[in-house]
Structures are given as structure tokens and as C-alpha cells.
Amino acid sequence: MAKMNRRDFLGAALGSSLAMSGLARQVGGDQASEPRIGLGVIGCGNYGMADIRAAFSVGGVEVLALCDVDSRHLKDSADKVEQLQGSRPRTFKHYGELLETPGLDAIIIATPPQWHALPFIAAVEKGLDVYCEKPLAYDVRESRAMVEAAQKEKDVIVQIGFQRRQSPAIQQAREYIRQGNLGRVVQADAQIHYTAGILDTTPQDPPASLDWDLWSGPAPKLPYCPQIGHFAWRLEKTTGHGHLVDWGIHLIDATRWILGETTPKSVQASGGIYHFKDKITTPDVLSVQFDFETCPVFWKHRIYGAAEYTPEVSNGIFFYGEKGTIFVTDQRWVIIPRGRDAERIEHNVKADMGAAHMAEFLGAVRARKQPGCTIEEGFRSTATVKLAMIAYEVGAKIAWDDRTEQITNHAQANALLKREYRAPWKHPYQD
């Protein structure tokens, strides 16, 4: 008789429990007969803890290990996990130590983007399944290296944190459009306007609990200030790379998914830092045109003085078709037919997208079947928004070859697909 490993056991147990219960979408649970998925979590800030809570809401998991470069985060998170599951996870400062934890089946990566690629590749090389927050990585070449690593380990399950794919509103709008109800889609507009809160930008000593050198990792090590620390790294060019890459990527991913698109053929962008000058390093106003095969997609954001935007449309996507228009956001979609007096039809559908997305991942781990948002999909959405920031930084329209994954008309822009790592770390993509 062939030896059954833990992964095979998880899959077999899932099949048995589902057959008995008939609940094909009910993954996890607290059935004593069902082996728990052993989780490790790298990055224990707000999003790491949100992912942990989502996993606990699904059930059938045990958090075995936590990793964070801030000892206070690490202790607080371990305390909370112990409270929730009744046992205390092991804690580590370095992700490599966490990956040696006995009993691990999967890891969650919830760090800032500069710390996605290296832990991800190390994890899949050990045969561990991975749930990775968006964007896939900081740069396009890191992202490709992650795809190649995952594809090399054929049995590894990967889910990228594009939770909007679990939004019933987005799913229903997608089905409506793909059934041809809008006719040919000729344009899409996506936007998220909000007013950013800016923290102290004065260089200062980092908190005693924080290893700032390790937090920076392969990214440039900037002087510490609260604005580019735990909570505000998103608007810093060297870490989060701005509002579009951090938050807007959710809508760009949803737009791509609805249209059935890959990556744009060309991208142009304009904007600047007008209100938050000398406080942030990415644009507080940005407009982008993505030229996809299907139609152009326009992105815009303003992250100051945004209170006057109508709340109903400040966050969402418009799809303009020959027969009508659809507006869709996280929990609402609206059909806007052609004609001045045509009646609008509004659908309000609420769901816990985070829990549903995590449930899809954990179900895939048990079933040994790739979830909906694959590593390749994560790459395409990440590459799309990174191309926009490259176009903005060089001040030119750039042409993208999806087959060769090169910017074909601008050497300086093409060089920005990969950034140099800070020593001693080495970039995982080899030219």
C-alpha cells in the first residue's frame, strides 16, 4: 500500500466529509474527523490579522507560527491567536525560521510588497501552499520569478488576495456583461477617490520593537518616520508605490476579469503631487489610459479634498456598452439603460469578501485544485498597474509586448521593470 502524506490525507478527508455532509462549498469546519490545515503567517499587522480572522471564520485551520520584524506586533498577534484557537503559535523574526515549523501546510504572506517575492519563493520551494496579498510583488520581474517558482512546483496551490473576485455584485455584473446585455463594451472607467490621512514625516528613531533594517529588506533603506512605517507605507514610492498599486489594483483586477483581458498593449499616465508635496512620493492625483484589446480602460484618483465626490460612485467601475451602462462597486451594481427616461435597476448584494476569498483558498488546499485567482492572474494585474506607474515616472506612452514581457518603445521604462535589491538580498529574477 502506498504511503499517504499529509497533503493526500487532507484531500481524502475533504472528499469524505463533503460526501457525508453534501455541502460542497463548506470547507474547513470543526469536525473532529477532519485534519486541520497548519498555517504560518508572515506579516502580523492589520492585514495579517484580518487574514487570520478570515481563516478562523472558515474553520478547519490551526495557526502554528507567526513571523514579524516588530516584536510588539508579534506578541500582540500571538496573544490574539492563542485567545482565538486555544493554543499559542510559535513566533519568529525571520521568515526562513518560520518555514521550518513542523506541520505547516500553507502560509499567508501579508507583508508590504517588498517582502512578497523572497518568502513566497522559499515557501513554494518547500512545497507549501501560499495565500499572498496583492500586489503580487514590488516589481514586474519579481512577479515573473514568483510565477516561475510556483509553476515549477506543480502541486503547489496559490491564491492572490484579490478579494473583489468574491464580491457577488462584481460576479453578477460580470455575468450580465458576458451574456451580451450591454452589447460591445467600448470603454471602462475605474476610480477610487478618498482623502488620505498623512502621518508624521519627520525622520526619527524607529520604535525599539521594530527592526527597521529588516523591515526595509531588499528595498532602499530610508530614514524611518511614521508615514512610511507600518501603517502608511502605501504612498511611498519604494514600498507601496502609490494608491493605484495598493488599492486601485483591486478595481483593475476586477475590470480585467470582467472583460476577460490579459495585460494592456500600451499605457499612458499623467498626474502629480499637488496637495501633499514633500509629504508623499507618489501622485495624489493620477489619470491613466490602459489600451486593452477589448477597449480602453481609464483610471483616475484624487486623494485629497475628495469629500465632495458623490459617495455612490467615488469607488467603482463604469462599463459603457452599445446598449447601456453598468456601474459596479463592492456590494452594489446598477444597470443604466440607454435613453433619457429609462429606469435604472439597482442591485444591492452584501458579502464578506475576505472570508469568501480565504474559503476558496482553503478549499483549494484540501481539494488540491487551483483557486480562481491564480498566480498568473496575480501577475497580470500587478504588471498592469506597475506599467502605469512606469509610464507616469518616465512621462511617456509605453508599449507593452505581452508575449516577451518587454516595454518595446522606451529603454528607460523597460529598465524599471526590475529594481536593484539592497545588499545582502539578491533579486530572484535572472536576466
pLDDT in tens, 59-107: 999 999 999 999 999 999 999 999 999 999 999 999 999 999 999 999 9
pLDDT at residue 31 in the model: 34
pLDDT at residue 299 in the model: 98
- CATH number, residue 116: 3.40.50.720
The verdict on 146 and 207 lying in the same domain is: no
Whether 32 shows a pLDDT value over 50: the answer reads no
Which contiguous run of DSSP H or E holds residue 37?
A: strand 37-42
Residue 368, SS3 per DSSP: coil
Cα three-residue angle 193-199-203, rounded to 5 degrees: 135
Q: How many domains does the chain have?
A: 2
Q: How far is CA 101 from the centre of its chain?
A: 25
Which contiguous run of DSSP H or E holds residue 132?
A: strand 129-132
Which residue has 478570515 as its cell numbers? 54
Least trusted range by pLDDT, from 15-24, 191-200, 325-334, 383-392: 15-24
Task: Kindly report, residue by residue over 166-223, the tens digit of the pLDDT.
Answer: 999 999 999 999 999 999 999 999 999 999 999 999 999 999 999 999 999 999 999 9
Residues 120 and 146: beta-carbon distance below 8 Å: yes
Task: Kindly report, residue by residue over 231-290, the tens digit of the pLDDT.
Answer: 789 999 999 999 999 999 999 999 999 999 999 999 999 999 999 999 999 999 999 999
- Beta pairing class for 285-291 and 296-302: antiparallel
Q: pTM for the full model?
A: 0.92
- Which is nearest to 103 in space by CA: 68, 64, 55, 56? 64
The verdict on 158 and 182 lying in the same domain is: no
The verdict on 184 and 301 lying in the same domain is: yes
Looking at this protein, which amino acid is placed at residue 85?
A: Q
Whether 428 shows a pLDDT value over 50: the answer reads yes
Percent of the chain past pLDDT 70, that is, above it, reads 92
The verdict on 96 and 54 lying in the same domain is: yes
- What sign does the CA torsion over 383, 252, 353, 314 have? positive
The verdict on 118 and 58 lying in the same domain is: yes
- Which is nearest to 67 in space by CA: 214, 240, 219? 214
- Domain holding 48, by residue range, is 6-164+356-375
pLDDT at residue 14 in the model: 45
Whether 9 shows a pLDDT value over 50: the answer reads no
From start to end of 193-331, where are the E strands?
A: 266-272, 285-291, 296-302, 315-321, 324-329
Residues 133 and 110: beta-carbon distance below 8 Å: yes
pLDDT-derived band at 22 (thresholds 50, 70, 90) equals: very low
Residue 255 domain-assigned (yes or no): yes
The verdict on 346 and 391 lying in the same domain is: yes
pLDDT-derived band at 425 (thresholds 50, 70, 90) equals: very high
The verdict on 272 and 367 lying in the same domain is: no
pLDDT at residue 8 in the model: 54
Least trusted range by pLDDT, from 28-42, 140-154, 329-343: 28-42
Residue 424 domain-assigned (yes or no): no
How confident is the prediction for the chain on average, in pLDDT? 92
